[in-house]
């Protein structure tokens, strides 16, 4: 079974071809520091060939959702050291996913600060969770050129901090409508300077961030996650095939660890310009190993690997509810069902109490 075969990623050999996808769990403190339960949560799932952490805020400004972790203070870095040590003690490999939410946030979560984005265009038809309940999205403030340059440096510093914290590498969260995706999408980027207008200009922010992250962590340790067909958070692309092809061709010139592609379903009648299969369309362009993500099962993940485009399959909710997912796949055993009521926030219930096949901790 290809899912259970060893895989090479950068300079590392992974114990199998299954990755744990990044999943926001909102279990950090108000100061963005993760605790002992988070250490156990990741330790429990270290049988994954690769763990990609939940999204981690690169700065105070980057924070958009409550109780999400950061990696911009020493206390935050020290807390993540306990997580990476635990994963490594179990023979695991863990990358940190770096996050700037941009307009996907609210001033109630940002100490009164207005969210920022590529342009002053708010998200319509959705609401955002705050500690005061669900709220309509606010119109973000368009970033100045000086601020853009600072955020790029914030990504670089955060990447350096992940190395201090003991992570094996970093992944840029450039998917699902967060800040890098806001620069990529013509629906959210109406700038008329070097970061807007043409596809080349809209790709610029992501490429400059990736260049700085590579400089911070070294070759074959930086990666990126893209969702070319996701329409979540009011993101849409008029020419997705042309734009993401150009982006990936530029990424091919950088010494990256992998390209993480989300195969997000979309309403085909509303977006006829979108490719039916993002992994097949864009994965075959990549010169870097491809990780395929979004809704895969044991059978469909195996079939995706058999195609030869993806090197690994990443699983989200299946790893959330089944800390020993590789063993369950190996034995074709039954799966725990995720408790959706405890996915975000709360304490240990629905976090570290999902049963193993043969043990409970």
- State the Cα torsion 276-198-116-222 to the nearest 10°: 60
The predicted structure's pLDDT at residue 265: 87
* CATH architecture, domain defined by 9-14+35-292: Alpha-Beta Barrel (3.20)
Catalytically active residues are 178
Q: What is the DSSP letter of 219?
A: T
State the average pLDDT over residues 291-303: 97
Residue 269 — pLDDT band, cuts 50, 70, 90?
confident
d(C-alpha 101, C-alpha 8), whole Å: 31
Which pLDDT tens digit goes with each residue over 52-93? 999 999 999 999 999 999 999 999 999 999 999 999 999 999
Residue 53's H or E segment, with its range, is strand 50-57
Q: What is the DSSP letter of 4?
A: G
d(C-alpha 274, C-alpha 226), whole Å: 14
189 Cβ neighbours under 8 A, 6+ residues apart: 118, 119, 182, 183, 195, 196, 202
SS3 352: coil
8 Å CB contact between 62 and 133 = no
Q: What is the DSSP string of 115-159?
A: PEESSS----S-EEEETTEEEEPPPPEEPPHHHHHHHHHHHHHHH
d(C-alpha 216, C-alpha 112), whole Å: 31
The predicted structure's pLDDT at residue 267: 86
154 Cβ neighbours under 8 A, 6+ residues apart: 58, 59, 61, 62, 72, 100
Residue 144 — pLDDT band, cuts 50, 70, 90?
very high
The predicted structure's pLDDT at residue 359: 56
d(C-alpha 152, C-alpha 176), whole Å: 19
Least confident of 15-24, 214-223, 336-345, 350-359: 350-359
Least confident of 14-23, 131-140, 148-157: 131-140
The predicted structure's pLDDT at residue 11: 83
The predicted structure's pLDDT at residue 361: 42
């Amino acid at each position: 079974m290809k899912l259970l075969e060893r895989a090479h990623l950068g300079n590392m050999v992974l114990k199998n071809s299954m990755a744990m996808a990044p999943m926001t769990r909102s279990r950090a403190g108000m100061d963005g520091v993760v605790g002992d339960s988070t250490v156990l949560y990741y330790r429990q799932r270290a049988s994954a060939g690769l763990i990609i952490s939940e999204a981690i805020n690169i700065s105070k400004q980057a924070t958009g959702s409550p109780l999400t972790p950061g990696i911009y203070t020493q206390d935050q870095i020290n807390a993540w050291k306990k997580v990476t040590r635990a994963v490594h003690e179990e023979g695991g490999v863990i990358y940190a996913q770096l996050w700037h939410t941009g307009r996907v946030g609210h001033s109630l979560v940002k100490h009164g600060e207005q969210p920022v984005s590529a342009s002053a265009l708010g998200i319509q038809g959705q609401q955002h969770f705050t500690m005061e309940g669900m709220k309509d999205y606010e119109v973000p403030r368009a970033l100045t050129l000086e601020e853009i340059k600072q955020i790029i440096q914030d990504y670089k510093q955060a990447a350096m901090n992940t190395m201090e914290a003991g992570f094996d590498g970093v992944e840029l969260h450039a998917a699902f409508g967060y800040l890098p995706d806001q620069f990529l999408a013509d629906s959210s980027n109406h700038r008329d300077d070097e970061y807007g207008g043409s596809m080349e200009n809209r790709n610029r922010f992501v490429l400059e961030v990736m260049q700085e992250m590579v400089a911070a962590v070294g070759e074959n340790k930086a990666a990126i996650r893209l969702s070319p067909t996701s329409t979540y958070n009011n993101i849409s692309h008029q020419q997705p095939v042309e734009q993401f092809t150009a982006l990936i061709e530029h990424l091919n010139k950088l010494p990256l660890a992998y390209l993480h592609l989300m195969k997000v379903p979309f309403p085909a009648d509303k977006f006829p310009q979108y490719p039916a299969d993002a992994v097949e369309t864009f994965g075959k362009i990549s010169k870097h190993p491809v990780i395929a993500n979004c809704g895969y099962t044991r059978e469909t993940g195996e079939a995706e690997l058999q195609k030869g485009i993806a090197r690994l399959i990443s699983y989200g909710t299946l790893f959330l509810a089944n800390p020993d997912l590789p063993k369950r796949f190996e034995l074709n055993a039954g799966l725990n069902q995720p408790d959706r009521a405890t996915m975000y926030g709360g304490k240990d219930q629905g976090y570290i109490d999902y049963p193993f096949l043969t043990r409970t901790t």
